[in-house]
Homo-oligomer: A and B are copies of this chain.
Amino acid sequence: MAHPIQLLSAKRTTGPAIKFMPLKLFILLFVAFQALAQTTHRLSQLRVQGNKFVTADGKTLVFRGLNASDPDKLDKSGHWDKSYFEEMKRWGATLVRFPVHPPAWRRRGQQQYLELLDKGVAWAGELGMYVVIDWHSIGNLKNEMYQSPIYETTQKETFEFWRTMSDHYKDNPTVAFFELFNEPTVMGGKLGTCSWAEWKKLMEETITIIRANGSKTIPLVAGFNWAYDLKDVAQNPIQAEGIAYVSHPYPMKRDKPWEAKWTADWGFVAQKYPLVLTEIGFSAADEKGAHVPVISDESYGDAITRYCDTHGISYIVWVFDPQWAPMMFTDWNYTPTRQGQFFKNVMQQAAKH
């Protein structure tokens, strides 16, 4: 049974836990809480209602958001600060995604990485923007095989990451979304096999963990083909209430005209569940960092934003960084790239309504 160190937590509660709190400590905590309440903007707790995200008072929200690069990367280059969030706000973002790469999580140390996230979550909340925490791996979690070393993790580490996140942010409504696994893919068999049933089971296990740890954050679940394909949801949806689905419909995943294919591949999901395109974006072939499958132009930007407007789908553009691609600006004066200019205009317009 218990060792001295555990007595504080008393996790083995089966009846009501017996706790004593000295009055002095209570007063101290009360004052600290009041101070916190004055300086932070407390966003309304988001939840799923049908195929919509709604606030506590029943208002529907559709997001236009921006992908930060990895907080660890931004911190190392001196850009993990409030001005970065203020700039995202100026571009019209109502949602910010934090892609946490597993090796960054391991190398910085859990406690140190949590401090980074805490700062970002606070800045976003103060500016009225919600946050997606994204476990940024790419590959086959079933076999624990990945596209490249930067995406290496294990099932155990993935479960523990969400155990930590759900416990840590259980009372923080700014953290509206947990994106359970960035881009599931078997790379055409290079990483072995994973059936939808196997994937679904891993996602349902993760959702169980998140909710048992007390979190009300909305889980976001992606499908195969680097988070593009959601066709299996039609017949065999994730068995959990209150979740939303994800697609990453980069331009080269399908040839033009895109719309009917998008509907068949993932858009149909939006009729029944909330849908978030947590990565969209494009770059011209001659721009820095151009690569398959993102090469396209403003016609893609027009198509995907119109599609989202029409169907009430939220999106988050990849990526608010001058080095990762497709990038949105070219230098730390935030000079927009082509897609940067395109989405800045669109999102600023949307923010006015």
Contacts and interface: CB of A to CB of B under 8 A. Distances in A.
Contacts of A192: 159, 205, 208-209
Interface stretch (A27-35, A267-275, A287-295): A287-295
Contacts of A150: 3, 5
B145 A14 contact: no
Contacts of A10: 291-292
Q: Name the prevailing secondary structure of the A interface residues.
A: loop
A188 B11 CA distance: 11
Contacts of A281: 1
Interface string A213-251: 100000000000110100000000000000000001010
A326 B285 CA distance: 61
A37 interface: no
B11 A187 contact: yes
A115 interface: no
Interface in A114-148: 143-145, 147-148
A197 interface: no
Contact of A156 (B144, B188, B225): B144
B324 A2 contact: yes
Contacts of A191: 163, 209
Nearest to A185: B12
Given A1-B281, A291-B12, A325-B4, A187 B212 contact: yes
Interface in A1-25: 1-7, 9-15, 17-18
A323 B4 contact: yes
Given A11-B147, A205-B192, A209-B191, A4 B289 contact: yes
A193 B205 contact: yes
A57 interface: no
Interface centre among A11, A188, A291 (most CB of B within 10 A): A291
Contacts of A41: none
Given A1-B324, A209-B191, A226-B12, A7 B255 contact: no
Given A187-B11, A324-B3, A205 B159 contact: no
A13 B285 contact: no
Nearest to A252: B15
B18 A295 contact: yes
A12 to B, nearest CB: 6
Given A213-B190, A318-B1, A15 B160 contact: no
Contacts of A155: 143
Contacts of A290: 7, 18
